[in-house]
């Protein structure tokens, strides 16, 4: 809830499902999308706003966010945390009162360009949108982009090596001063990759079926710099929507094969094994 209310990082849509699954709780991007529709955006911090985390703290910070979400009925105050008093205890900030540490609530925002109460939000939703279509699943954060940029249609380019990405980036940056606009990317053997329409990434089905499958990139040279230590993580990583955890994906396959028992808290959907890459 705090992630959505503050327009937090899309990195969390990887971390939170992985953490939840490690605890035996199955959540995915559809859950985050549904929650986002019910949680208002009450913070504007960089890159979604002009102020940084220091300005966020000065405006009331987490004490204001937690307190206002509790008042709006969007959080449970009795949730256990590492600190006694439940989550409600975090709706206060530390201050010095005559050289004595005291904890005071923050009932109001000190800067309404940074923080607002839930009944006067910056946006009515948390800004984490789920995209679905024949290209797969993805999420993006509308709170960090102007609505005019929510829909993008452009050619795409696929890279198999990060060094090739850097080379292409530098070429693009050098040419930026000579051209005002151009392809943001280009996909091998095909034109534009598609568009976002009504929260779905679409491409013509006939065109999609006619395209050649991209070949797997060649394996890297065996240079022995420690890359082999992480081969298990590359080979066995789960899908992003389930947290991308190689260990949890391996557990799911072992459960499906009957090698270990299924934890009671896990649902069948949480252990679905997806194909993984077969290259190093």
Backbone dihedral region for residue 7 (phi beyond 0: left; psi -120 to 50: alpha; all else: beta): left
Round to whole Å and give the CA distance between 45 and 123.
13
Among the listed residues 143, 130, 136, 148, the one whose alpha carbon sits nearest the alpha carbon of residue 198? 130
Strands 195-197 and 136-141 turn out to be unpaired
Check if the beta carbon of residue 37 is closer than 8 Å to that of residue 120: no
The confidence score (pLDDT) of residue 182 equals: 44
Q: Could you tell me the two tokens for 167?
A: 């080379």
Strand partners, 138: 131
Q: Could you tell me the two tokens for 183?
A: 């392809």
Q: Could you tell me the two tokens for 224?
A: 């022995």
The confidence score (pLDDT) of residue 120 equals: 95
The confidence score (pLDDT) of residue 192 equals: 37
The confidence score (pLDDT) of residue 202 equals: 58
Q: What is the DSSP code (8-state) at residue 242? A: G
Round to whole Å and give the CA distance between 140 and 38.
17
Q: What is the DSSP code (8-state) at residue 226? A: S
Q: Cis omega (within 30 of 0) on the bond before 119? A: no
Block means of pLDDT (10 residues each) for the chain, length 280 residues?
88 90 87 92 86 93 95 91 88 91 94 95 90 82 83 80 84 57 40 42 73 74 69 81 84 78 56 37
The confidence score (pLDDT) of residue 101 equals: 93
The confidence score (pLDDT) of residue 200 equals: 47
């Amino acid at each position: 809830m705090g992630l959505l209310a503050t327009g937090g990082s899309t990195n969390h849509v990887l971390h939170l499902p992985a953490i939840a699954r490690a605890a035996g709780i199955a959540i995915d991007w559809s859950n985050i999308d549904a929650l986002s529709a019910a949680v208002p955006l009450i913070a504007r911090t960089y890159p979604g706003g002009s102020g940084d985390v220091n300005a966020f703290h000065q405006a009331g910070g987490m004490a204001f966010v937690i307190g206002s979400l509790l008042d709006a009925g969007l959080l449970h105050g009795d949730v256990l945390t590492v600190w006694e008093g439940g989550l409600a205890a975090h709706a206060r900030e530390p201050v010095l009162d005559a050289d004595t540490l005291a904890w005071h609530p923050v009932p109001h925002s000190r800067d309404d360009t940074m923080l607002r109460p839930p009944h006067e939000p910056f946006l009515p939703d948390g800004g984490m949108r789920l995209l679905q279509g024949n290209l797969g699943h993805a999420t993006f954060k509308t709170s960090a982009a102007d609505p005019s940029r929510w829909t993008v249609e452009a050619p795409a380019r696929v890279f198999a090596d990060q060094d090739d990405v850097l080379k292409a980036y530098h070429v693009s940056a050098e040419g930026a001063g000579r051209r005002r606009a151009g392809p943001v990317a280009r996909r091998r053997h095909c034109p534009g990759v598609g568009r976002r329409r009504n929260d779905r990434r679409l491409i013509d089905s006939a065109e999609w079926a006619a395209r050649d499958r991209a070949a797997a990139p060649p394996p890297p040279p065996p240079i022995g710099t420690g890359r082999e230590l992480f081969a298990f993580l590359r080979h066995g990583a789960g899908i992003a929507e389930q947290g991308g955890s190689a260990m949890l994906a391996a557990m799911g396959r072992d459960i499906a094969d009957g090698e270990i028992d299924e934890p009671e808290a896990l649902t069948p959907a949480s252990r679905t094994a997806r194909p993984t890459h077969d290259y190093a």
